[in-house]
Amino acid sequence: METTVDSFEVGWVDANTERHLFFSNYDSGLDDIFAVQGDVAAKVVTADLHFKDLHDAIMLQR
C-alpha cells in the first residue's frame, strides 16, 4: 500500500508561552522534501533571531 501526502503543516511553538513563532502550509506534498527542509530551517532561524531581539529589547526596558 502506497501513501501519498498532498499537503502538510509545519509550526514552531514556544512551549513556555504557547506563542506561535511560525507556521506554514505546504501544498507541494513531499515531492521536494529538501526544499521544504531548507524553507523550514530558514524560518526557524528567522523566528529564533526575532525572538532573541524581542527578548533583549524587553530586558533593556527593565
- Per-residue model confidence as pLDDT tens digits over 19-59: 887 788 888 766 777 888 888 888 877 776 676 766 676 67
Domain residue limits at 31: 8-61
- Structural domains in the chain (count): 1
Q: Which residue has the higher pLDDT, 11 or 28?
A: 11
- Quote the pLDDT of residue 8: 81
- State the alpha helices, DSSP H only, in the chain: 33-61
Q: Is residue 24 part of a domain?
A: yes
Half-sphere exposure of 42 (CA within 13 A, CB side): 7
Predicted local distance difference test score (pLDDT) of residue 22: 78
Residue 37 domain flag? yes
44 in a structural domain:
yes
| Residue 18, in any domain of the structure | yes
Running DSSP on this structure, what letter comes out for residue 14?
Answer: -
Residue scoring higher pLDDT (13 or 5): 13
* pTM reported for the whole predicted model: 0.54
